[in-house]
Amino acid sequence: MMTATMVAGCVLFALGCGADRGPGADSATPTDKTVTQTVTTTPSIPGPGSPEPVEPKGDTIDPRPVPWISATPEAGGERLRLVWWSGVEPCRTLDRVEVDESAAEVKATIYEGPARDAQNVACIEIAVQKTTTVTLKAPLGDRKVVDGAR
């Protein structure tokens, strides 16, 4: 997990370098030889690490909905694996996942908050990809999966 985080930090640092060359830099004018590059991003960073599995702990302070980036059916559609970006514990702790099921859709909402014992604790500001799995009342089938935090 630490390796993926370090790779992400290095990539972001490298992308930020050279954006502003500062005073005195030559101001080249575009010519017909100017190359435009399109950069696309994905919500997760491929690499040796995988999302950190976490279980709901409950009893957090003022839990708030957090958007997830993927919901993958498992075990024949009886479970749903959710992946989202978060921060480090105890400042960003999974409180619960609420699942509302209907005939047409499954709405999954992740709730996070600081752990009750996290008062007067300093946490580093770093992105951590987390995952948890919820069991559905009925197999997913053709139902649409909806993010309750969006």
pLDDT, averaged per 10 consecutive residues of the chain (150 residues), comes to 46 46 45 37 49 96 97 96 97 97 98 91 94 97 97
What 3-state DSSP class applies to 7? helix
Q: Is the dihedral of CA 120, 122, 125, 130 positive or negative?
A: negative
Residues 85 and 127: beta-carbon distance below 8 Å: yes
Block residue for tokens 């709730």: 111
Block residue for tokens 């960073």: 45
**Residue 27 pLDDT:** 44
Q: What are the residue ranges of helices labelled H in the chain?
A: 2-16
Q: What is the pLDDT of residues 50-86, one digit of tens each?
A: 999 999 999 999 999 999 999 999 999 999 999 999 9
**Residue 25 pLDDT:** 45
